[in-house]
Amino acid sequence: MSHPIDPARVHAALAAFGPGTTLDIADEHSELLRYARSRVTAQHSERRMRVRVRINRDGRVAMGSLETLDAAAVRALAERLSDALTVLASGVESGRAPRRTDAAAPVTVPVASEATRAFTPAARHAWFSRVRDGLSGVADLGGSIRNETIERVVADDGGLYRSEVLTKASLQAVAEQGERSASVRAVHRDADQIDVDPVAGLLRSALAPLPSRDRFAGTCRVLLQPQAAITLITTYGYAALGAAGYAEGRTAVAGRLGDQVVGDLITLTDDGADPAGLPSGFDPEGTPRRRTPLIDRGALVGVVSDLERAEVTGGRSTGHAVPLGWRFGADPSPSHLLLEPGTATEDDLLSGLGEGLVVNRLDYLRVLHPKDTLVTGTTRDATYWAEDGRIVAWHPSVRLTFRMDEVLNAVLAVGAARERGEAVFMESAVAPALLVDAGPIKV
């Protein structure tokens, strides 16, 4: 279980680093059970602290990181950063000093789940056993079960001090039967809210004894099931809906506020307080996460910003700064996307599909050209072929290359049922299935 970050040590670190300092601290405790071929392969426990430091003095910026708040380590880094700022003193400013106007603003902090914090190795093994036993030997089971507790603190020398404890439990189950596979993903802040009992049945159903067909070549309608749709909208949000790219003309939506940018069935919002996702209270700058409408019935109505790009969003950050040294870049990025559901049932979506591809999961979706939203990726786990509104065959996994904006502009129907998911660059996303017309995706 995570131990509280000591406020006295935080304030001592702020004093050591001096004026203009912001600290972003995370104390992480994670527990992981991995399994493959229906056997446990690893149990792993990790505890670490990450302290990200940013000093901004008159536009001169120095950054560093630590894995402790130990006074000696803090002093050593403070000396190195002070030397770096001295070198910058006679040169060109390396960054603007963003204005903070919300240090006293209230924050909606999610309640940490005691069930997740107390999740034991025995409980993780019980989850694994229930899924494995439910498969009754018809398929090999692989995947992982994880629970984690993260205490976060963001503080600066101007009096800002925000803290929260985030918990998360997740289950990834992949059933393999020869060359066929199916997967189920479940994630929640509260381990008690994850229902493990249906997982084996969902996997068995997905491994339907259907014939296999040869690879289709050409364009066809495509049904993106919720987990595939989550991968699509998270990648689109990251590539297109940040304020820095918008202001600098680097994204497909730059300069198009109020314009139709995707199909009118798409309404997309970022909301860190919505319990449908994985709520969190503030970003790495300590700014409260603001509910930010992004796309309303296809029209661009907003982008997400941080303190440096707050002028793009009316002079106020939306609370979407990213961590210092983030491997996905420094631009503000969506964090909690929610795609509004439609009214179509699964039968409606299959009927509308007629003949075409059913994609349960998109994997390795990689941005090739951000300005054009051009991506490439592969289908994975239970890719099917449908005819006359019925799934009739397994289809080989395929590599797809397409423009995300064109796909979102060709949506014919939106499912009524949504699923929760996440991405390595986003805390959570919630989306229904999307029926996409023939054309944008070539198989």
| Predicted confidence pLDDT, tens digits, the chain (443 residues) | 445 899 999 999 999 999 999 999 999 999 999 999 999 999 999 999 999 999 998 888 999 999 999 999 999 999 999 999 988 865 545 555 566 656 667 788 889 999 999 999 999 999 999 999 999 999 999 999 999 999 999 999 999 999 999 999 999 999 999 999 999 999 999 999 999 999 999 999 999 899 999 999 999 999 999 999 999 999 999 999 999 999 999 999 999 999 999 999 999 999 999 999 999 999 999 999 999 999 999 999 999 999 999 999 999 999 999 999 899 999 999 999 999 999 999 999 999 999 999 999 999 899 999 999 999 999 999 999 999 999 999 999 999 999 999 999 999 999 999 999 999 999 999 999 999 999 999 98
Same domain, 72 and 95: yes
Q: Is residue 441 part of a domain?
A: no
Same domain, 259 and 362: yes
Q: Is residue 401 part of a domain?
A: yes
Domain carrying residue 350: 221-436
Q: Give the end of a domain, one of 206, 240, 256.
A: 206
Same domain, 280 and 366: yes
Q: Is residue 216 part of a domain?
A: no
Amino acid at 61: V
Torsion of CA 435, 437, 438, 443, to 10 degrees: -30
Same domain, 199 and 250: no
CB contact set of 10 (below 8 Å; sequence gap of 6+) = 23, 25, 69, 153, 155, 161
Q: Is residue 443 part of a domain?
A: no
Beta carbons of 23 and 68 less than 8 angstroms apart: no
Taking the C-alpha atoms of residue 66 and residue 53, their distance in angstroms, rounded to an integer, is 8
| CATH number of the domain to which 50 belongs | 3.30.2290.10
Phi/psi at 76 (nearest 5 deg)? -65, -45
Same domain, 67 and 177: yes
Same domain, 170 and 234: no
Overall pTM surpassing 0.75 (yes/no):
yes
Pair of tokens at residue 270: 């970022």
Tell me which residue has tokens 């939506």.
Answer: 253
Same domain, 43 and 120: yes
Q: Is residue 2 part of a domain?
A: no
Q: Give the end of a domain, one of 180, 206, 232.
A: 206
Q: Give the end of a domain, one of 146, 176, 206.
A: 206
Say how many domains are in the chain.
2
Same domain, 144 and 248: no
